[in-house]
Amino acid sequence: MNRAWGLGVGAWGFAVGDSGTAGGGPLPNAAGPSPQPLAPNPFLSVRNVEKSFPEGNGRQFVLRRISLDVAKGDFVTIMGPSGAGKSTLLAVLGMLDGDWTGEYRLLEHVVHKLKHKDRIALGKQYVGFVFQQYHLIDDLTVAENLAMPLSYRDVKADDREAAVADTLDRFGMVAKKNLYPRQLSGGQQQLVAVARAVIHRPALLLADEPTGNLHSSQGKDIMELFRELNAAGTTIVQVTHSEENAKVGKRVIQLRDGWIVD
Ligand SMILES: Nc1ncnc2c1ncn2[C@@H]1O[C@H](COP(=O)(O)OP(=O)(O)O)[C@@H](O)[C@H]1O
Ligand SMILES: [Mg+2]
């Protein structure tokens, strides 16, 4: 029964090589002037990022002096115990959160100086995000949820429909396309969340425990998808507790109590 959800390896033809835009949103090679060349051509560069919440008379720090360079085509794994700040860091990188101090540059964009609206727009342009809690839109069907990132990008209706049909097919979800998230299992919702994050071929894929609710063969297929996307040029930052998943990436960053350790 679940075979429709079995993601055969090799089902991901869309990930590589069938267009000139693989792995690239717009401007993937923007060689623009880097305001501070902190590392050789980092795709993104974070300096001294801190985030805290008010607590009692003081503040509880969730991210402490985070500095990180990620090159184009890198594949970074963030690991660490629950509460370490992994999801918080991913939200900063994905430009979903603007309430922090420090510096963040993405290509030629100075994220820490952007207005809220421009930061969100930049995120929509560059980022595909797999949320830990999926965040599918309850009153949209699977197909409509998949179309969302395309609608942000002014993709023509015909092309949008074709991309949605293609993705439904490749994820084995054609039979589910008119269902609503509540009609899916947790694992199925997670697959939709992954599909939605990659359908627009973002230059930067951020994934928060993207296989946490999948059975192991589906989890392997998702990691194979990430491997192919990365080989085609997509920059990836994933959060995982899985050593197996971490091995698919190129390097691991450990977070503890908001600090990068090692
Ligand atoms: N809105 C909030 N108010 C106060 N504390 C928060 C809030 N959101 C997250 N935190 C705290 O930030 C810390 C890091 O959370 P999170 O980034 O979700 O950790 P992880 O993803 O590594 O499990 C946790 O201690 C959490 O309780
Ligand atoms: Mg988390």
28 vs 166 pLDDT, higher one: 166
What does the pLDDT read at residue 152?
Answer: 83
pLDDT digits (tens, 9 = 90+) for 128-140: 999 999 999 999 9
Residue 32 has pLDDT above 90, yes or no: no
| Residue recorded with tokens 């009609």 | 183
pLDDT digits (tens, 9 = 90+) for 173-211: 999 999 999 999 999 999 999 999 999 999 999 999 999
- Closest by CA to 66, choosing from 83, 36, 89, 82, is 89
H or E element: which one contains 205? strand 204-208
On whether the CB atoms of residues 151 and 160 are closer than 8 A, the answer is: yes
What does the pLDDT read at residue 39?
Answer: 55
pLDDT digits (tens, 9 = 90+) for 37-85: 455 679 999 999 999 999 999 999 999 999 999 999 999 999 999 999 9
Tell me how far the alpha carbon of residue 39 lies from the centroid of ligand 1, in angstroms.
30
Tell me how far the alpha carbon of residue 30 lies from the centroid of ligand 2, in angstroms.
31
Tell me, using a 6 A CB cutoff, whether residue 62 lines ligand 1: yes
Of all protein residues, the one whose alpha carbon is nearest to atom 2 of ligand 1 is 53
Residue 15 has pLDDT above 90, yes or no: no
Give the start-to-end residue ranges of the domains of the chain. 3-40+71-99+125-261
pTM listed for this prediction: 0.86
Tell me how far the alpha carbon of residue 105 lies from the centroid of ligand 2, in angstroms.
23
In angstroms, the CA 36 to CA 113 distance is 15
Give me the mean pLDDT over the 27-44 stretch. Answer: 54
R_g of the chain, CA atoms, integer Å: 18
Residue 4 has pLDDT above 60, yes or no: no
Give me the mean pLDDT over the 85-103 stretch. Answer: 97
Of all protein residues, the one whose alpha carbon is nearest to atom 20 of ligand 1 is 83
For a mutational test of ligand 1's pocket, the pick from 62, 79, 86, 135, i.e. the residue with the most ligand atoms closer than 8 A to its C-beta, is 62
Residue 30 has pLDDT above 50, yes or no: no
Q: Which CATH architecture has domain 3-40+71-99+125-261?
A: 3-Layer(aba) Sandwich (3.40)
Tell me, using a 6 A CB cutoff, whether residue 177 lines ligand 1: no
Phi-psi region of 48 (alpha: psi -120 to 50; beta: other; left: phi over 0): left
Q: What type of residue sits at position 244? A: E
Of all protein residues, the one whose alpha carbon is nearest to atom 7 of ligand 1 is 53
On whether the CB atoms of residues 92 and 104 are closer than 8 A, the answer is: yes
Report every protein residue that has its C-beta within 5 angstroms of ion ligand 2.
86-87
Task: Kindly report the backbone phi and psi dihedral angles of residue 121, in degrees, each rounded to the nearest multiple of 5, phi listed first.
Answer: -65, -40
Tell me, using a 6 A CB cutoff, whether residue 26 lines ligand 1: no
